[in-house]
Amino acid sequence: MEVLRVAIVDFGLGNLYSVQRACVHAGLQASITSDRREVSSAHAVLLPGVGAFGDAMSTLRRLDLVAPLREAAARGTPMLGICLGVQLLMSRSEEFGAHEGLDILKGTVQRFNGPREGDRHLKVPQIGWNGIFRAPGASRSDPWQGTPLEGQAEGEPMYFVHSYCVKPDESDVILSSTRYGQIEYCSGLRRGNLFAFQFHPERSGREGLKIYHAWARLVRSHSTGGAVS
Amino acid sequence: MNVRVIPRLDIKGPNLVKGIRFEGLRVLGKPHQFARHYYESGADELVYMDAVASLYGRNSLLEIVRRTADEIFIPLTVGGGLRSVDDIRSVLRAGADKVSLNTAAIARPELIREASRAFGSSTILVSIEAIRRPDGTYEAYTDFGRQATGIDALEWARRAVDLGAGEIAVTSIDRDGTGEGFDLVLTRSIADAVPVPVIAAGGAGSAEHVGQVVGEGHADAVCVASLLHYNTVRTLPLDVGEFAGEGNIESLRKGARFSKIEDLSLSDLKAWLVRRGIPCRPAPARAGGGP
Chain B 223-242, residues with CB within 8 Å of chain A CB atoms: none
| Confidence (pLDDT) at B144 | 79
Q: Does A18 touch chain B (CB under 8 A)?
A: yes
Active site residue A202: yes
CA distance to partner chain B, nearest, from residue A110 (Å):
18
- The fold for domain A5-223 equals Rossmann fold (3.40.50)
Residue B285 lies in a domain: no
Residue B23 lies in a domain: yes
CA distance to partner chain B, nearest, from residue A119 (Å):
12
Q: Cβ contacts of residue B192 below 8 Å, gap of 6+? A: B218
- Global ipTM: 0.91
Residue B259: which CATH number? Answer: 3.20.20.70
Q: Does B221 touch chain A (CB under 8 A)?
A: yes
Contact by Cβ (8 Å): A56, A96: no
Active site residue A184: no
Q: What is the pTM of this model?
A: 0.92
Q: Is the CB of B69 less than 8 angstroms away from the CB of A21?
A: yes
Find the catalytic residue in B40, B45, B87, B129. Answer: B129
Mean pLDDT computed over B142-158:
93
Q: In whole angstroms, give the CA distance from residue A228 to residue A217.
A: 9
- Number of domains present in the structure of chain B: 1
Measured in whole angstroms, how far is the alpha carbon of residue B14 from the centre of its chain? 17
Query: Residue A179 pLDDT > 80, yes or no?
Result: yes
Q: Does A127 touch chain B (CB under 8 A)?
A: yes
CA torsion sign for B206, B10, A200, B86 is positive
Q: In whole angstroms, give the CA distance from residue A40 to residue A53.
A: 22
Q: Cβ contacts of residue A187 below 8 Å, gap of 6+? A: A130, A132, A158, A160, A165, A176, A177, A178, A197, A198, A199
Reduced 3-state DSSP string for B194-243: CCCCEEEECCCCCHHHHHHHHHCCCCCEEEECHHHHHHHHHHCCCCHHHH
Q: Does B247 touch chain A (CB under 8 A)?
A: no
Helix, strand, or coil (residue B154): helix
| Span B196-225, pLDDT tens digits | 999 999 999 999 999 999 999 999 999 999
Query: Residue A110 pLDDT > 60, yes or no?
Result: yes
Q: How are beta strands A44-47 and A5-9 bridged, if at all?
A: parallel
* Whole-number Cα distances in Å, B26 to B7, B229, B252: 17, 11, 10
Instruction: Please state whether A208 falls in left (phi above 0), alpha (psi between -120 and 50) or beta.
Output: alpha
Q: What residue numbers bound the domain in which B262 lies? A: 4-275
Residue B209 lies in a domain: yes
Domain residue limits, chain A:
5-223
Residue B281 lies in a domain: no
- Rounded (to 5) percent helix, strand, coil in chain A: 30, 30, 40
Query: Residue B154 pLDDT > 50, yes or no?
Result: yes
Chain A 27-86, residues with CB within 8 Å of chain B CB atoms: 50-52
Query: Residue A46 pLDDT > 80, yes or no?
Result: yes
Active site residue A186: no
Residue to mutate among B6, B41, B119, B122, with most A CBs inside 10 A, is B122
